Amino acid sequence: MEAETKTDKKAKGKRTPIYVVMAIVIVAVIGGIVYIVANNSAAQTVVVGDNISVYYTGSFTNGTVFDSNVGKQPFSFVVGPNSHVIEGFDQAVIGMSLNQTKNVTISPANAYGIVNSSLIVTISRAQFGNHTVYVGMPVTASNGASGVVTAENATNITANFNPPLAGKTLVFEIKVIGIKPKQ
């Protein structure tokens, strides 16, 4: 057993008063709270290049919902050019913070574009042979474009090759649920 030094004997006889311990604990807790508040006040916001995950509900201006992933798999994408989402949606998320919800109205020009009348074509019914044709039927052009039959009669069929939401003003409720900063 090692011999005790004078300093060790003094230390054994003295205790740190409880009020000093409590003061240290309170300062540590307050310091932690200040740190947490400071971090939350400078919450991370979405910038171009971030990989984000969102929940969204898309509707028309009359309130009819056309798409939603709420309660399903979150939608993830990299914000910015070539993001594979419509421009207005991409722009709407920039500056949002984690768990923020935002409502945004997107014009056709920033969504699926205006209706291009040259993509609405009349086709001779004879080109369909004996196949049954009906309004709403999907069709594919010889160049691979997808469209839908919008009208038909005894001699002709009208098909629209515009995107289904072209010409529509869209309303989205977007909630950012994940932000992975760009590398």
Looking at the DSSP assignment, which residues form a beta bridge with residue 147? 139
All structural domains of the chain, each given as residue ranges with its CATH number in brackets, are 51-113+166-180 (3.10.50.40), 117-160 (2.40.10.330)
The pLDDT of residue 137 is 96
- For the chain, 183 residues long, give each residue's pLDDT as a single digit of tens: 445 444 444 444 444 444 433 434 343 344 443 333 333 434 699 999 999 999 999 999 999 999 999 999 999 999 998 888 999 999 999 999 999 999 999 999 999 999 999 999 999 999 999 999 999 999 999 899 999 999 999 999 999 999 999 999 999 999 999 999 987
Using alpha carbons, list the distances in angstroms from residue 51 to 62, 75, 134. Answer: 32, 10, 42
Tell me the CA end-to-end span of the chain in Å, nearest whole number: 57
**What local confidence, expressed as pLDDT, does residue 43 receive?**
66
Per-residue pLDDT at 82: 85
What pLDDT does 183 receive? 75
Helix (H) or strand (E) holding 12: helix 6-13
Contact partners, residue 118, CB within 8 Å, separation at least 6: none
Give pLDDT, residue 83. 85
- By CB neighbour count within 10 A (0-12 exposed, 13-18 middle, 19+ buried), where does 168 fall? buried
